[in-house]
Amino acid sequence: MLLKLRVCFRSIQSRQLNPCLNLFRYCHFDSKLGSNSTNPITTVTPIEPQNNVAIFWDLDNKPPNSFPPYEAAFRLKKAASSFGVVRYMVAYANRHAFSYVPNVVKKQRKERKLLNQLENKGLIKPVEPYLCRVCGRKFYNNEKLINHFKQIHEREQQKRLNQIESARGNRRVKLVAKYAMKMQKYKNAVRDVLTPKVGYGLANELKRAGFWVRTVSDKPQAADLALRDHMVDVMDKRKADCLVLVSDDSDFAGVLKQAKLRCLKTVVVGDINDGALKRVADAGFSWQEILMGKAKKEAVSVVGRWKDRDMLERLEWTHDPKEEKNFSSVVNAFDYCGSDDTCDDDDTCDDDDDDGDADDGDCDRECGGFGGIFDEDDVDCKQKEAASAWWELNSDPEANA
């Protein structure tokens, strides 16, 4: 009976002192985590850091006259994304570049005007009706579609803009959120229906593609100076690792050289194959290659060359004159100490110890021997090695024996 009480008392005491023992009874821990376990270990592959790309577009020198602005800007961004992550897209020009209408656009407008006249006279009927992209109405005459758009949708857009401009504070924020979808729908539709009053919509198309468009003064070289200052500012703040310049102006050669000195990658987009910019830059493409997608394919090889060059720069031997001077001084000091320790032919080891004998340790160190004992075979071998060059083979039968 006493033994039973003692066992019960010990079990109660163990539960009070070690409460974690009960936890292990009801918990199961799997030591092997693999494909059969409920919590497999996921292996995370390291992601290589990508370059930050900045696009600078000189619209005064290289406007997209022969291509639609939005398509050219979109293809340019797509090609630049092959070199890294596009962080900045900037375009500079004066007001003349935005008011200029290319000959291609002029021809298209003349053809559209002629078709409208024939449709009004009933000589030509379109195969498919013209569709209003705002309300969905169909018209078999382009001028009727234009009149409908101006009378209804353009007036509604102007009313919405007036309400937003007159509102303040929280009410203005609510109105912008309320009319956001309608205003965006109107902007997408007006692009194909109404003709811009000034130019051919270059600034709006570039903004729609994501570019930050800046208009400078009409002074000569104003756009070049502003674009050059912006590029230098980006290089100073280290905001980009790769610069993509859209221009054929040789005045930007100095900026590209400065970018290469700062270990930045440079790419030029222009139509002059042997221009000064393409000779300085790491890679160069034409507008035709950008639009056809050829530049995106060639960008893979360009990035591979950049990686190889960076790897070689890390492994390249660098010459440090200070370190070499210190090393040569240490070597000269070591040689000088060795020459002082050796014995000349006329010197004798006549230092005596307390017992009258010569100092065997000093003599051994100075004469190069061990206790004044030399091996004749070693001496003969050293003399033969000194007499013959290191690249000559020893064919002496005695030495081989």
377: left (phi over 0), alpha (psi -120 to 50) or beta: alpha
Number of domains the chain contains: 2
Residue 341 pLDDT more than 60?
no
- Which tops the pLDDT comparison, 294 or 357? 294
pLDDT band at 154 (very low <50, low <70, confident <90, very high): very high
| Cβ-proximal residues to 191 (8 Å cutoff; 6+ apart), any chain | 201, 204
Of 30, 2, 53, 110, nearest in space to 299 by CA: 53
Please indicate, yes or no, whether residues 213 and 290 belong to a single structural domain of this protein. yes
- Which tops the pLDDT comparison, 322 or 240? 240
Q: Is residue 72 part of a domain?
A: yes
Please indicate, yes or no, whether residues 305 and 284 belong to a single structural domain of this protein. yes
User: What pLDDT, in 10s, does the model give residues 352-365?
Assistant: 444 444 444 444 44
pLDDT band at 115 (very low <50, low <70, confident <90, very high): very high
Lowest mean per-residue pLDDT among 257-266, 319-328, 344-353:
344-353
Which DSSP symbol is given to 292?
H
**Residue 47 identity:** I
- Which tops the pLDDT comparison, 338 or 297? 297
Mean pLDDT for the stretch of residues 27-41:
45
Reading the block at residue 350, the tokens are: 């006549």
Mean pLDDT for the stretch of residues 146-162:
94
* Bridge partner residues of 56 (DSSP): 90, 245
Q: Is residue 23 part of a domain?
A: no
Residue 35 pLDDT more than 50?
no
Rounded mean pLDDT of the chain?
A: 76
If you write DSSP's letter for every residue of 151-182 in order, what string do you get?
Answer: IIIIHHHHHHHHHHHH--HHHHHHHHHHHHHH
pLDDT band at 318 (very low <50, low <70, confident <90, very high): low
User: Which domain, by its residues, includes 189?
Assistant: 123-199
Mean pLDDT for the stretch of residues 282-292:
87
CATH number (domain holding residue 306): 3.40.50.1010
Contact 243, 262 (CB under 8 A): no
Q: Is residue 401 part of a domain?
A: no
Please indicate, yes or no, whether residues 191 and 221 belong to a single structural domain of this protein. no
Please indicate, yes or no, whether residues 239 and 289 belong to a single structural domain of this protein. yes
Domain edge (last residue) among 259, 294, 312: 312
Rounded to the nearest 5°, which phi and psi values hold at 383? -65, -40
Domain edge (last residue) among 164, 199, 234: 199
Q: Is residue 177 part of a domain?
A: yes
* pLDDT at residue 226, rounded to an integer: 92
Does the pTM of the predicted model rise above 0.85?
A: no
Give the H/E segment covering residue 56. strand 52-58
Max mean pLDDT range (17-21, 36-40, 138-142): 138-142
Give the H/E segment covering residue 218. none
* pLDDT at residue 312, rounded to an integer: 72
Please indicate, yes or no, whether residues 61 and 183 belong to a single structural domain of this protein. no
Domain edge (last residue) among 248, 278, 312: 312
- Which tops the pLDDT comparison, 297 or 343? 297
Contact 247, 268 (CB under 8 A): yes
Mean pLDDT for the stretch of residues 42-49:
54
Give the rounded distance of the alpha carbon of 186 from its chain centre.
37
Residue 60 pLDDT more than 70?
yes
Please indicate, yes or no, whether residues 285 and 147 belong to a single structural domain of this protein. no
